[in-house]
Chain A
């Protein structure tokens, strides 16, 4: 193990380490803690310049205010309506593409695979004008499906990379044995490979959920009003209206951060498994 386990060092060093841990954590999360504290600070405190002192009371009304006076609830709902179908769509499509690229040998296999990988890395701006134009001409501008369809297509690139490598690591004998028995290809996919894919599906679902929930660029390019805007775009436009109303900005920020944070804590193992794919050989 590297570095040397701390239990092997002098008691004094162990003490220092145990103190350094929480101190480092607080420093690391300082900006976030500040915002969380501001989100429950009454506006009157901020007006009087009491930014970091003890708040006169805990103002959970800031959150109520955000919901009452802005379309925040709508934004959150929109985010879910765009994100959930995207997760399902991208995972479903990439299960199939990943299966095709992992199991079959055919001409162009590697080229197609690397096309998915490379496409996943391109800057969004090179897609922006044509994708917006396409979405407009299909009458899907400022709609859930317009945004979700693009996300599904783009995420398929990353998901294919993931699924293909995962399926490739499965024992090939399973598939060979089924073929000898004369099992149809789609049945191999459905009854043999799919049940083994549960961890990969879980990992990708949490990852894609987070990516899409947090997307801001496409939300700005493909939506324009609270009818369809997800929370990232909504928060950005609210930020423009709430000039210097930091208690509201903070409350809104915390609300926007909550779903992916909960997702992360509930599905931590899967989340990290997905993110660190390829980090070890």
Chain B
């Protein structure tokens, strides 16, 4: 019965999709739309006794306020620093991967131990680095004191605090990029490397002209996860400084949380507007990734 199988085959994908798609729409797609809408409202997160929404439509006022909100501008600026410095994870991860891509005894264990920081929760990474930076007895403080005569309380200095947190974030991120490149290096075509060697290529030239082009898929993923990681940074800021001192280490994700949920107030609409800005920045990158993946898919 061809018509029955045909029907079954056109209905089946939707039945398989239904539960996952439904959950994803309810918890991810729909909320994005809701946040976009909320960003045009002034709302304290409450409902009146009849259960009705109490928000007041204010058009683009939230965004106008953002344009002159010093705390927002600091957060935005810090996000740019995060993004720029986080990118260091890509070359650094490549370097570590090259260092570890050998066949000596015990190298497997070394690789896993180097990967260690990525497995640990960012909360724990934050606590570890808070201790590392702690004034008077922290390891880094003591090392700096040893060399320069005076220690620096990294997390209490407006000038250094954001960089200090980013270094903590780079630690697991480099480990992640390293594992991507180790897998990539494992799959580099040996005949091409040998051929290039016969042609006299070595060192940097070999890396640049022969190895890196073959590592392109790994580099793509490394850049994607690093950009996402930089813009998602929330845990470390929250654990290490809670945005301080004087709000100098805030990033958009943390400032949004502060505005919408913490003791600073329940400005849900304003928070949503900050989230929309972060979302817009992220969308630039997401569209880029999707565009590239789309091209790969349709070329096949």
Interface residues of A (CB under 8 A from B): 1-7, 17-18, 21, 24-25, 28-32, 34-35, 38, 49, 51-52, 93-94, 96-97, 99-101, 103-104, 106, 109-110, 112, 114-119, 121-134, 149-150, 152-154, 156-157, 160, 179, 182, 184-186, 189, 210, 213-214, 216-217, 220-221, 232, 235-236, 239, 246, 249-250, 253, 256-257, 260-261, 263-265, 268, 272, 275-276, 278-281
A240 to chain B, nearest CB (A): 10
Closest 8 CB pairs of A and B: A153-B27, A130-B31, A214-B121, A100-B16, A93-B20, A104-B13, A97-B20, A153-B23
Q: How many Å from the CB of B20 to the closest CB on chain A? A: 4
Q: How large is the interface on B (under 10, 10 to 19, 20 to 34, 35 or more residues)?
A: 35 or more
Residue in chain B with minimal CB distance to A152: B23
- Expressed in whole angstroms, the minimum distance between the Cβ of B58 and any Cβ of chain A is 16
Q: Beyond A253-B124, A268-B112, is A216–B16 a contact (Cβ under 8 Å)? A: no
Please indicate the chain A residues that have their CB under 8 angstroms from the CB of B20 in the complex. Answer: 93-94, 96-97, 156, 160
Given A4-B197, A100-B17, A126-B278, 15 more contacts at CB 8 Å?
A1-B188, A17-B102, A35-B131, A97-B16, A100-B13, A106-B13, A123-B253, A124-B232, A125-B257, A129-B45, A131-B31, A153-B23, A214-B121, A249-B127, A281-B217
| Majority-rule SS of B interface residues | helix
> Which chain B residues border A246 with CB–CB below 8 Å?
131, 134
* CB of B160 within 8 Å of the partner chain: no
Enumerate chain B interface residues (CB-CB to A < 8 A): 5, 8-10, 12-14, 16-17, 19-21, 23-24, 26-32, 34-35, 38, 45, 98-99, 101-104, 107, 110, 112-117, 119-124, 127-129, 131-132, 134, 137, 139, 142, 171, 176, 179-181, 183-188, 190, 193, 197, 202, 206-207, 210-211, 217-218, 221, 228, 231-232, 234-235, 238-239, 252-253, 256-257, 260-261, 268, 271-272, 274-276, 278-279, 282, 285-286, 289-290, 293-294, 297-298
A5 vs B235: C-alpha distance in the bound complex, in angstroms? 40
Complex: chain A residue closest to B102, CB-CB: A6
Residues in B whose Cβ lies below 8 Å from that of A21: 104, 107, 110
Contacts of A123 in B (CB 8 A): 231-232, 253, 275, 278-279, 282
- Interface contact B290-A114, CB-CB below 8 Å: yes
A149–B22 Cα distance when bound, in Å, is 12
Please determine whether B123 and A125 come into contact, CB atoms closer than 8 angstroms: no
Which residue from B13, B112, B256, B286 sits with its C-beta under 8 Å from A125?
Answer: B256
Kindly state the separation between the CA atoms of A53 and B122 in the bound complex, as whole angstroms.
Answer: 28
> Contacts A32-B117, A128-B260; is A2 near B27 (CB within 8 Å)?
no
A116 touches B278 (CB 8 A): no
Return chain B residues, CB-CB under 8 Å to A149. 23, 27
